[in-house]
Amino acid sequence: MVVALLALAAWIMHHMFGATTGWIAFSGGVVMLLLHHMKHVDALTRWLKLPVAGKVPVGSGVWDYVFSLLYRFERVKNKQQQQLAKTLVRFRQAGRAHPDGVVILDADNRIEWCNDTAESHFDLNVETDVGQPLINLMRQPDFVAYVESGDYAQPLELRTTRGGGAIFSVQIIPYGDAQKLLLSRDVTRLEKLETMRRDFVANVSHELRTPLTVLSGFLETIKELQLDPQRSRDYMNLMAEQGKRMERIVDDLLTLSTLESAPNPPLDERVRIVPLLERLRTEAEALSGGKHRVVLDAEPGFDLLGAENEIASAMGNLVTNAVRYTPDGGEVRITWRASADEAEFAVNDSGIGIAPEHIPRLTERFYRVDRSRSRATGGTGLGLAIVKHILNRHQATLDIKSEAGKGSRFAARFPARRIVPAATLPETVAREA
Ligand code: ADP
């Protein structure tokens, strides 16, 4: 178009001023046009070498149109790139926040990226360890064997010495172009629970098997031998004793399992403490058969909020234990002290006491310091586990102080939210039996 206009102007000049002038004008026009295009090509080339966003050159004539197209293209591309960068950042953030450890490995098992959890599981540092072979940094033999095996169908259970013996479940998932995703999960707590479950089943079986063996032994004897009536009666009594023992174990197990699944104890039900303690004292006296001095020292003024049957069971267990583990002639003292901020129920005894190494384990199921003494007094080894559970459910704590040969103090402390002023103040209860 421009060339056609130039030719027309040259042709007009050719006719007005002669052929030479016409040709000079035409050639001059072509040279100007060429310079114009060269200038824009140069600007384009410079920009293409270093395409700074938003710095697309401006031009005139046809170049104005070309540059505006380029500007539009560059803007769209820029937007897409920003979108992509944002998505990448989001993915990385999600990867970092993932509660499991994530490590991306290349075909040679070199670290390409890992998240914070993987850093803490494997003691890695994403800043300095990227590009390093993972097995140079995590040298535990079973882990190295797993990474090198190429068989990743099953996860590896990795037992480490870190943090007091943390256990991780590690699995490699191959993907893409020979890359691998290594996932790690801390299963320490799950493993401990599983061990506890196994121990518990083993303990229950053992506890029940002992009386069962005795029972079936007696049954066998009665069946095989002709026993005189007195002997038979003795055997029957022993069998009934074993039956009772099994019953007590099953009852306590049921209590524990009910407590585990029961809804939280109420915060709006009053448990009248003083009458409850009076009852416990009477029961303790009955159990003692007059062989102990049972003292009740309770300050009236405050009651508890919670499940009455549970609180009675927890306090009853502590009182019963005090009688069972105190030799004849000893003293069992039940105290109740309460203010609006804290309430304490305690049982002191002058009994056999407990050596310090046993104290932290007393609330474990079936833990007993002296198995035969516990059995002889009808114990199941579950009493303090039940007490602990009930107190937990009432946000209360159990404090145990004891000295072997001197006596023990078991104290349950209740928080302010479980304490309520007594409805009607009964007269002070400080009677001694
Ligand atoms: P058990 O049925 O054996 O009494 P518990 O769970 O009630 O089971 O108690 C666990 C163990 O704690 C008991 O076997 C005993 O060794 C010890 N124990 C509990 N209370 C006392 C106490 N007042 N004095 C001495 N030892 C106690």
- pLDDT tens-place string over residues 321-362: 999 999 999 999 999 999 999 999 999 999 999 999 999 999
Residue 99 main-chain phi, psi, to 5 deg: -70, -20
Ligand 1 pocket residue status of 306, Cβ below 6 Å = no
Expressed in angstroms and rounded, the spacing between residue 318 Cα and the centre of ligand 1 is 9
Residues 123 and 238 in one domain: no
- The DSSP 8-state label assigned to residue 330 in this structure reads -
Residues 279 and 417 in one domain: yes
Expressed in angstroms and rounded, the spacing between residue 319 Cα and the centre of ligand 1 is 11
Residues 358 and 381 in one domain: yes
Q: State the CB neighbour count (10 A cutoff) for residue 162.
A: 14
Size of the chain in residues: 433
For the CA of 375, the closest atom of ligand 1 is 3
Predicted pLDDT of residue 427: 46
| CA-closest residue to ligand 1 atom 13 | 368
Residues 150 and 63 in one domain: no
Residue 364's nearest CA partner among 203, 124, 214 is: 203
- Long-range contacts formed by 420-423: CB under 8 A, 24+ apart: 420/270, 420/302, 420/303, 420/304, 420/305, 421/301, 421/302, 421/303, 421/340, 422/272, 422/273, 422/274, 422/300, 422/301, 422/302, 422/303, 423/270, 423/272, 423/303
Ligand 1 pocket residue status of 362, Cβ below 6 Å = yes
Alpha helices in 172-270 (DSSP H): 188-224, 229-261
Residue 365's nearest CA partner among 192, 199, 243 is: 199
Residues 15 and 36 in one domain: yes
Predicted pLDDT of residue 132: 94
**Which helix (H) or strand (E) covers residue 410, if one does?**
strand 407-415
Residues 200 and 295 in one domain: no
Do 73 and 50 contact (CB within 8 A), yes or no? no
- 389 Cβ contact list (under 8 Å, min separation 6): 256, 259, 260
Ligand 1 pocket residue status of 330, Cβ below 6 Å = no
Expressed in angstroms and rounded, the spacing between residue 316 Cα and the centre of ligand 1 is 13
- Give the CATH number, domain containing residue 169: 3.30.450.20
Predicted pLDDT of residue 164: 79
Ligand 1 pocket residue status of 379, Cβ below 6 Å = yes
| CA-closest residue to ligand 1 atom 3 | 381
Ligand 1 pocket residue status of 157, Cβ below 6 Å = no
**Range of 60's domain?**
2-90
| CA-closest residue to ligand 1 atom 23 | 322
Residues 275 and 257 in one domain: no
Predicted pLDDT of residue 424: 60
Among 90, 122, 152, which residue terminates a domain? 90
Ligand 1 pocket residue status of 109, Cβ below 6 Å = no
- The DSSP 8-state label assigned to residue 432 in this structure reads B
**Residue given tokens 């007005």 in the structure block:** 16
Residues 322 and 414 in one domain: yes
Do 39 and 32 contact (CB within 8 A), yes or no? no
Collapsing DSSP to helix, strand or coil, 429 comes out as strand
Ligand 1 pocket residue status of 370, Cβ below 6 Å = yes
- Give the CATH number, domain containing residue 239: 1.10.287.130
For the CA of 351, the closest atom of ligand 1 is 24
DSSP code string of 119-179: HHHHT--HHHHTTSBHHHH---HHHHHHHHH---SS-EEEE-SGGGT-EEEEEEEEETTTE
Choosing from 362, 367, 402 the residue with most ligand 1 atoms within 8 A of its CB, the one to mutate for a pocket test is: 362
Q: Per residue in 174-185, pLDDT tens?
A: 998 889 999 999
Q: What is the pTM of this model?
A: 0.70
Predicted pLDDT of residue 56: 86
Expressed in angstroms and rounded, the spacing between residue 320 Cα and the centre of ligand 1 is 10
Residues 220 and 253 in one domain: yes
Residues 305 and 402 in one domain: yes
- The DSSP 8-state label assigned to residue 424 in this structure reads S
For the CA of 385, the closest atom of ligand 1 is 6
Report CA-CA distances (Å) from 421 to 273, 301, 315, 352.
11, 6, 20, 36
Do 309 and 423 contact (CB within 8 A), yes or no? no
Among 67, 90, 113, which residue terminates a domain? 90
- 104 Cβ contact list (under 8 Å, min separation 6): 111, 112, 113, 114, 179, 180, 181, 182
Residues 170 and 238 in one domain: no
Choosing from 361, 368, 399, 400 the residue with most ligand 1 atoms within 8 A of its CB, the one to mutate for a pocket test is: 368
For the CA of 347, the closest atom of ligand 1 is 23
Ligand 1 pocket residue status of 407, Cβ below 6 Å = no
- The DSSP 8-state label assigned to residue 325 in this structure reads T
Q: Per residue in 85-109, pLDDT tens?
A: 999 899 888 888 889 999 999 999 9
Q: What is the total count of domains within the chain?
A: 4
Across the chain, mean pLDDT equals: 91
Residues 180 and 238 in one domain: no
Ligand 1 pocket residue status of 292, Cβ below 6 Å = no
Please report, in tens digits, the pLDDT of each residue of the chain (433 residues total): 777 887 888 788 888 888 888 888 888 888 998 999 999 999 899 988 988 877 888 888 889 999 899 899 988 998 999 999 999 899 888 888 889 999 999 999 999 999 999 999 999 998 899 999 999 999 999 999 999 999 999 999 999 987 778 999 999 999 988 899 999 999 999 999 999 999 999 999 999 998 999 999 999 988 888 888 898 899 899 999 999 999 999 999 999 999 999 898 988 899 999 999 999 999 999 999 999 999 999 999 999 999 999 999 999 999 999 999 999 999 999 999 999 999 999 999 999 999 999 999 999 999 999 988 888 888 999 999 999 999 999 999 999 999 999 999 999 999 999 999 997 644 444 444 3
Among 261, 290, 323, which residue terminates a domain? 261
Ligand 1 pocket residue status of 284, Cβ below 6 Å = no
- 212 Cβ contact list (under 8 Å, min separation 6): 242, 246
